[in-house]
Amino acid sequence: MPRQSIELPETVKDGLNKMAISFGMTQNALINLAVATMVAKFDVEGTRIFFDLISLPHKKAK
């Protein structure tokens, strides 16, 4: 499998480490799962997969 190097902010790396411990998985396995999921969703939904990440939060009506 080809290797890919990524840079993560320290806070993200710390969170990834906590997740890895919690799930009993390696950090690499979690990253592979996240990227594979994102690619599969992109194949189905296209750029809509990013809308929640880039759109402004909406206020809920009271």
Residue-wise pLDDT for 13-43, tens only, equals 999 999 999 999 999 999 999 999 999 999 9
* Count of Cβ atoms closer than 10 Å to residue 49 Cβ: 16
Domain that holds residue 27: 10-54
Is 62 a member of any domain? Answer: no
Within a domain: 1: no
d(CA 40, CA 22): 25
The secondary structure of 15-39 as a DSSP string is HHHHHHHHHT--HHHHHHHHHHHHH
Does residue 4 sit within a domain? Answer: no
Q: Is residue 28 part of a domain?
A: yes
- The reply to whether 36 falls in a domain is yes
The total number of structural domains in the chain stands at: 1
Q: Which long-range contacts (CB under 8 A, 24 or more apart) does 44-52 make?
A: none
For 41-61, write each residue's pLDDT tens digit: 999 999 888 887 777 666 666
Residue 41 lies in a domain: yes
The pTM assigned to this predicted structure is 0.75
CA trace torsion 39, 48, 51, 13 (10° rounding): 0
In a domain, 45, yes or no: yes
Q: Which two tokens stand for residue 10?
A: 């320290």
